[in-house]
Chain A
């Protein structure tokens, strides 16, 4: 069966060790974590974990059930087959020799990113977007020379039903 990327949005009771329980569940049962993002929600004491996992359908079902079985997990939402907004933020440090600076700035403009740090031979770009957008940007910057990339991993939110 095909392994597909699944986006899970998990609400947890913000108790000590809750992240460790979730990560331990994945390593203990041999599941994959592609990316993981954790932060508090608007409600105090409740955090949201956005997780991208790669697995086939029955395994994803099992992952959701196992997550839900954890005492501190309140809700597991599978956004994969729903309408949702997804974003990721990346910081990209690129080689910026004088002959490449103009080209880089053009790309920055097209991708609506911003330059957040400048040095004698580098630019650090900040970009927000979907995974595809980030991949496209990296593809264009690669020939110029990417020194370092830091990504937050995906966050996602389901769209309001109209």
Chain B
């Protein structure tokens, strides 16, 4: 039987196991939406297309499935660009489906026409404009395959309106095999043997793990490797949770706002085993003086990540989970008895760094934002899924919430998108309905996608929003304080809505704490609520994130509290 394009799309999505779509309808997507109403796929109607992409991104991270987003042409499509770029930087598997004006109007500046395939070419893993109805089913199959294999990433499919209504026979698609795309999963064993040789010889090794370990579901292998070889572990922002944040070998996050001991360890290390990281500038600081004494091993599924920012001694192209698993196999053949003795001095040095220079803040009679995050961690026993906005709130969340498991910290790492946290919390809550999901936000960034409160309330998603309100665009203000003679140009945000009333206006619960004594009661009440809750904390206005490595400095040159 012949099916319409919209029907074929639904069938193809079902075959990929899609049960949830985040989206927003419009003229060029109306036929798809019409068909969607006759399926059992759940649609979450966001209030802005950017929110749909962030939600799909977070849904993918929390739920381990490809996130799907459906929007219309023109502005619907352009509104997805920030979310797509963020997913691209963070290697998150999502498929974005955009409606397009009818084929014969493409290029005519038709109403709500935009070349979204052209616009998103540099910020997707791949994208498609479907020109023939016969190609539609195959394209969807390929898109899902590309999105979730190799180094994952966003794939966009642009479907003109006439393709949505055209008819053809639908055939179940064969598995995808592309001549030009064959990611390398299996690492080279010779390279791995070299790695083990270095590990056995090293006196001051450090494991540096990133988002790639989480994406490959390799946390267990990573933890086993580090514990058996007694190697301290640091994780990039995207890697937080890949290694237990409560393990004695845990160093904390490295880089611009990394812990003292993580940055000093990298500075003094003689061997860095990096897995699933890309040596972002926020981690390396001044690249010339990054890990000056270390040989670097770099495991990554994307060959273009290797030697991109730092030159490495042993490159390993392959899947992180597989590679780390094989390293554990190789450890079986080694005598590890001498390892604890060999590492004692190194681990002792790290302990000293931790004792002399821990993460710190001075509690006064105003609420300290770090205290809020720390209390949140204690009250939730570290078990919540935390999403963040971007800026100081994000760094305090990364520093003071200790993640013991992967997929529990969801943040816009590479692109640094303000306004990410609330839609991300929605996506995570949809993926994990039984989990406690909390967005740690600032007063600036929460206002960037605050409209998604309506989405959360509409679908009874009990997400919790913790606003650390300092009345500033805090991170920029901190830079202005430190490096621009306290010229707070355009960062004063003290004119903000009443967040408690705003929560109530959306049909959610609003709570506020202005004094340190109120932190625990407000958090306790808010977290216990079955509703969507905004908890606003009026915090110390000019609190900074420390340690801080000034831009362009070596990561061992930290400004401390």
A interface, CB within 8 angstroms of B:
12-13, 16-17, 20-21, 24-25, 28, 58, 61-62, 65-66, 68-69, 71-74
The residue that B121 contacts in the complex, of A17, A58, A65, A66, with Cβ under 8 A, is A17
167-223 of chain B: CB within 8 A of chain A: 178-181
Nearest A residue (CB) for B303? A65
Taking a contact as CB atoms under 8 Å apart, the answer to whether B121 and A61 are in contact is no
Residue numbers in B under 8 Å from A66 (CB-CB): 304
Whether, in the assembled complex, B452 has its beta carbon less than 8 Å from a beta carbon of chain A, the answer is: no
- Per-position 1/0 for B103-129, Cβ under 8 A of A: 000000000000001100110011001
Residue numbers in A under 8 Å from B146 (CB-CB): 71
A-B contact pairs, 19 of them (CB 8 A): A12-B180, A13-B180, A17-B118, A20-B118, A20-B121, A21-B121, A24-B122, A25-B122, A62-B304, A62-B308, A65-B303, A68-B303, A68-B304, A69-B304, A71-B125, A71-B178, A73-B180, A74-B179, A74-B180
Whether, in the assembled complex, B307 has its beta carbon less than 8 Å from a beta carbon of chain A, the answer is: yes
Residue numbers in B under 8 Å from A12 (CB-CB): 180
A9 CB to nearest B CB, Å: 15
Residue numbers in B under 8 Å from A28 (CB-CB): 122
Residue numbers in A under 8 Å from B31 (CB-CB): none
- Per-position 1/0 for B252-280, Cβ under 8 A of A: 00000000000000000000000000000
- Give the CA-CA distance A24 to B311 in the complex, in Å: 26
Nearest A residue (CB) for B118? A20
Known pairs A17-B118, A24-B122, A65-B303; list 7 more (Cβ under 8 Å). A12-B180, A62-B307, A65-B304, A69-B303, A69-B304, A71-B146, A74-B180
Taking a contact as CB atoms under 8 Å apart, the answer to whether A72 and B304 are in contact is no
Nearest A residue (CB) for B183? A69
Nearest B residue (CB) for A15? B128
Residue numbers in A under 8 Å from B302 (CB-CB): 69
B151 CB to nearest A CB, Å: 8
Nearest B residue (CB) for A23? B121
B148 CB to nearest A CB, Å: 14
B interface, CB within 8 angstroms of A:
117-118, 121-122, 125-126, 129, 131, 146, 178-181, 302-304, 307-308, 311
Nearest B residue (CB) for A71? B126
Give the one of A17, A28, A73 with max B CB within 10 A.
A17
- Give the CA-CA distance A17 to B122 in the complex, in Å: 12
A77 CB to nearest B CB, Å: 14
Residue numbers in B under 8 Å from A58 (CB-CB): 307, 311
Nearest B residue (CB) for A28? B122
Nearest B residue (CB) for A21? B121
- Give the CA-CA distance A21 to B124 in the complex, in Å: 11
Nearest A residue (CB) for B305? A65
Taking a contact as CB atoms under 8 Å apart, the answer to whether A17 and B304 are in contact is no
- Give the CA-CA distance A74 to B179 in the complex, in Å: 7
B305 CB to nearest A CB, Å: 9
A152 CB to nearest B CB, Å: 26
Residue numbers in A under 8 Å from B181 (CB-CB): 71
Residue numbers in A under 8 Å from B307 (CB-CB): 58, 61-62
Residue numbers in A under 8 Å from B117 (CB-CB): 17
Ranked 10 nearest A-B pairs via Cβ: A65-B304, A74-B180, A71-B126, A28-B122, A65-B303, A71-B181, A13-B180, A66-B304, A69-B304, A24-B121
- Give the CA-CA distance A65 to B317 in the complex, in Å: 12
- Give the CA-CA distance A63 to B129 in the complex, in Å: 26
Taking a contact as CB atoms under 8 Å apart, the answer to whether A71 and B304 are in contact is no
- Give the CA-CA distance A61 to B180 in the complex, in Å: 19
- Give the CA-CA distance A72 to B302 in the complex, in Å: 16
Residue numbers in B under 8 Å from A71 (CB-CB): 125-126, 146, 178, 180-181
Residue numbers in A under 8 Å from B303 (CB-CB): 65, 68-69
- Give the CA-CA distance A65 to B307 in the complex, in Å: 10
Residue numbers in A under 8 Å from B304 (CB-CB): 62, 65-66, 68-69
- Give the CA-CA distance A12 to B181 in the complex, in Å: 11
Nearest A residue (CB) for B151? A69
Nearest A residue (CB) for B306? A65
B258 CB to nearest A CB, Å: 26
Residue numbers in B under 8 Å from A74 (CB-CB): 179-180
- Give the CA-CA distance A12 to B125 in the complex, in Å: 16
- Give the CA-CA distance A112 to B308 in the complex, in Å: 46
A142 CB to nearest B CB, Å: 41
Nearest B residue (CB) for A20? B121
Residue numbers in B under 8 Å from A69 (CB-CB): 302-304
Residue numbers in A under 8 Å from B180 (CB-CB): 12-13, 71-74
Nearest B residue (CB) for A18? B180
Residue numbers in A under 8 Å from B126 (CB-CB): 71
A65 CB to nearest B CB, Å: 4
A33 CB to nearest B CB, Å: 16
- Give the CA-CA distance A71 to B129 in the complex, in Å: 15
Residue numbers in B under 8 Å from A20 (CB-CB): 118, 121
A24 CB to nearest B CB, Å: 5
Nearest A residue (CB) for B123? A28
- Give the CA-CA distance A110 to B84 in the complex, in Å: 58
- Give the CA-CA distance A93 to B179 in the complex, in Å: 44
Residue numbers in B under 8 Å from A72 (CB-CB): 180
A36 CB to nearest B CB, Å: 17
Residue numbers in B under 8 Å from A68 (CB-CB): 303-304
Nearest A residue (CB) for B302? A69
